[in-house]
Homo-oligomer: A and B are copies of this chain.
Amino acid sequence: MNPIIQAARREQIIEAAIDTVAEVGYPGTTLARIAERAQTSKSVISYHFPGKDDLLEQVVLQIYADTWAFMEPRVEAETTAAGQLGAYITAELDYMREHRARLLAVADIVANHRTADGSLRFTPDAEGSQGAEGLGLGVLTDILRRGQRAGEFRNFDPQVLAVTVNRALDGALGRWVTEPSLDLGAYATELTTLFDLATRKPQKES
């Protein structure tokens, strides 16, 4: 009945689930471990969530929303498509620096979570990002398409490039995990110039 306690508990459990996935990986994530980290019992999780699958889905949706809430103003602040692309890359890496476990968890869940019939529940490499707007491929593809229409960008396949940018950011996360001393700021400028060169229209007639 008390919605405040409800929300707080759910938040606590979600946070525990994030840390668990980030630490032991998707296959090692069990209700018992999540409960232990949240300092409760499995039953509490079962009381607040219909099941493990739903919990992990909530984790993904919340992280998507949080991440995009952080990134959106920085992307929207840019006027050019090239600026938006750079802002997208830098913003995600900035968010990553402060929320390593979140992005680690979301990547792990998205890559592994499946429905009962065996197909992946989240397939972010397709056109429509279901559910959580932003942070799917949709936003990125839109930026790229807009840049092409505006004549800023050369003629590439926007979906290929969107997937590649997303994977590049995942790669940064992966390397950061195995090499914690990695300079994410430098990584951001590396990727920004990389994709700037890859998208920019070759200088010809004005």
Contact = CB atoms under 8 A, between A and B. Distances in A.
Contacts of A25: 112, 114, 118, 120
A174 B163 contact: yes
Given A24-B118, A25-B114, A163-B168, 19 more contacts: A24-B114, A26-B112, A120-B178, A123-B174, A125-B177, A126-B175, A126-B179, A157-B186, A157-B187, A159-B175, A163-B171, A163-B174, A163-B175, A164-B168, A164-B194, A167-B168, A195-B198, A197-B197, A197-B200
A125 B178 CA distance: 8
Interface in A186-202: 186-187, 190-191, 193-195, 197-198, 200
Contacts of A31: none
4 tightest A-B CB contacts, nearest first: A167-B167, A167-B171, A163-B171, A125-B174
A142 to B, nearest CB: 17
Contact of A198 (B27, B171, B175, B194): B194
Contacts of A187: 157, 160
A184 B79 CA distance: 34
A170 interface: yes
Contact of A164 (B126, B156, B191): B191
A90 to B, nearest CB: 14
A163 B157 contact: no
16 contacts: A24-B118, A28-B118, A125-B177, A125-B178, A126-B175, A156-B190, A157-B190, A161-B194, A163-B174, A164-B194, A166-B171, A167-B170, A168-B168, A195-B198, A197-B197, A197-B200
Contacts of A44: none
A32 interface: no
A103 to B, nearest CB: 14
A133 interface: no
Contacts of A118: 23-25, 28
